Structure 1
Amino acid sequence: MVKATDMMGAQSPAVAVPPYWEEAKQELMKRDRIMKKLIPQFGDLHLVGHDDPFTTLARSIVKQQVTPKAAAAAWQKLLAACPKFTPAAVLKAGAEELSACGLSKRKTEYILDLADNFKTKKVHASQWDQMDDEAVIAELVQIRGITRWTAEMFLIFNLLRPNVLPLDDPGLIQGISQNYFSGEPVSRSDAREVSANWEPYRTVATWYLWRSLDPVPVE
């Protein structure tokens, strides 16, 4: 167990290191000259996972297409409106109360639809640990408001999958551009070619490229 740095730079309580993390660091530093330079810069920092699938996905919807500050404010209002943030509590709150938290009409609909999917067990959250990455993505993108990128972030931050390559993530593409191509534009094909050297730890390499752009770990 180690202490992780939260988004404000403070020390948060001890959290578990993903079981593959240390091995992944060593393998990436052996194989990749950029990772060999990058990884030691961040010491004991590591990916910190989120526990509750419903909360993780709802928060990802709140974050879509708004500034981090606006997303954080809306999320805090949501938690105030639904202190027990469960599918049943969200459905009970209803559209009017969710909208009053600063959510757009569409995001309100998305979160209510997500809650309905969980409450009626249209999604198989209890089975996701046993399903492969693409099977989880295929199920998640059937929910309104969940894109492939959102599903990949869920694989990384909730299921702690070690080999996710989120090609739709601007931070990953920018990180590859700055670290591997001297800031030149990078295509998805370029990104795939670079990432071939990272398997089966593409999540870990992605996380370090995010850190190279913003040293404060994201939630």
Structure 2
Amino acid sequence: MADGQRTPRYDAAEACRALAAADPKLGALIERAGPYTLMLKSQHSPFDALLEAIVSQQLHGKAAMAILHKLLKLFGEIHPTPELLLLQPDDAMRAAGLSKNKMLALQDLARKTLDGTVPSLAAIRRLSDDEIVTRLCAVRGIGAWTVQMMLMFRLGRPDVLPLTDYGVRKGFALTFSRLPKSKPFDASMLADMKVMARRGERWRPWRSVAAWYMWRACDLAGKPFVPPPVA
């Protein structure tokens, strides 16, 4: 197991049994794909996790890590506190490779952490999924998808269905739609999000597990499953 990774606290086997009973088509996918092996990432504070998410936006892995490393070097190669981030000159942050929009987003994140909008790690554990989405989406540059990835991959919440995620929409279409076999998959074949939401009601309270199997459906269709960037 990689350093800092953990298994979710919920019972994955129970979740898979419940999903298969509620939705036989999903059950067939679960049987074909095999055990649920989602691993949670390190338990960073919401501030640290969102800092990394903002830096990584619209960048591939190596480029994002390079800029994050340059940014953290400004603070002795550790995550800064919100107070220290706000004291950092704009020129130094731009020299680390941050765009103006990302710099403004990080500064807004720091301010909203200091005013309590962005909760501490201890406090966020007491909040509902909807409360977390509402509070973290108040930060400039943070959308629902980023928060949903945090809920699934850092907080281990079991009932998250990221309807806008390309892989989840594709996996849903591959599993539940009648697609033309002679035509390569393209964006026009992605599942309708309203249809997904309706079917997803039968997956409660295990929609995170169902979403993970939608990614696996993409893998089984011939393209290796690449986990999404984690908030």
TM-score bin (small chain): 0.7 to 0.9
Q: Secondary structure at the match of 2:88?
A: helix
Change (3 A) 1:92 1:179: same
1:46 aligns with 2:41: no
- Aligned residue-pair number: 209
Aligned partners of 2:124 and 2:144: how far apart in 1? 16
Choose the corresponding residue for 2:175, options 174, 179, 199.
179
Partner of 2:9: 19
Question: Which has the higher mean CA deviation after the structures are superposed, 63-72 or 15-24?
Answer: 63-72
- 8 Å Cα contact 2:162-2:168 kept in structure 1: yes
Amino acid at match of 1:85: H
The answer to whether the Cα contact below 8 Å between 1:94 and 1:112 also exists between their aligned partners in 2 is no
- 1:58-73, aligned counterparts within 5 Å? 58-73=51-66
Letter in 2 for 1:33: P
Give the match for residue 203 of structure 1.
208
Letter in 2 for 1:195: G
Residue type at the aligned position of 1:98: M
2:161 counterpart of 1:165: yes
Q: Confirm or deny: 8 A CA contact 1:95 1:112 kept in the other structure.
A: no
Shift of 1:196: 2.1
CA deviations over 1:27-84 (Å, ceiling 9, x no partner): 2233333433443535462231331121211122122233344323322322333322
SS state at 1:130 partner? coil
Take 1:150 and 1:50, find their aligned partners in 2: how far apart are those partners? 16
TM-score computed with the length of structure 2 as normaliser: 0.78
Contact 2:40–2:155 (Cα < 8 Å) also in 1:
no
Pair 1:124-2:126 in alignment? no
Partner residue in 1 for 2:27: 36
CA distance, structure 1, for counterparts of residue 37 and residue 167 of structure 2: 18
The residue that corresponds to 2:193 in the other structure is: 188
Unaligned runs of 5+ in 1: 4-11
Instruction: Decide which of 104, 108, 111 is 1:109's aligned counterpart.
Output: 104
Matched to 1:215, the amino acid is F
State the AA in 1 paired with 2:41. G
Structure 1 CA distance, aligned partners of 2:50 and 2:195? 29
Identical residues among aligned pairs (%): 31
Flag structure 2 segments of 5+ consecutive residues without an equivalent.
180-184, 219-223
Q: Could you say which structure has the higher strand fraction?
A: 1
CA distance in 2: counterparts of 1:205 and 1:188, whole angstroms = 15
Of structures 1 and 2, the larger Rg is shown by 2
Q: CA deviation at 1:107?
A: 0.5
When the two chains are superposed, the root-mean-square deviation of aligned CA atoms in Å is 2.4
Question: Contact 2:159 / 2:206 at 8 angstroms: preserved in 1?
Answer: yes
Deviation of 1:120 after TM superposition, in Å, equals: 4.0
Alpha-carbon offset, residue 137 of structure 1: 1.4
Tell me how far apart the structure 2 counterparts of residues 15 and 37 of structure 1 sit (CA, whole Å). Answer: 29
1:133 aligns with 2:138: no
| Number of the residue aligned with 1:78 | 71
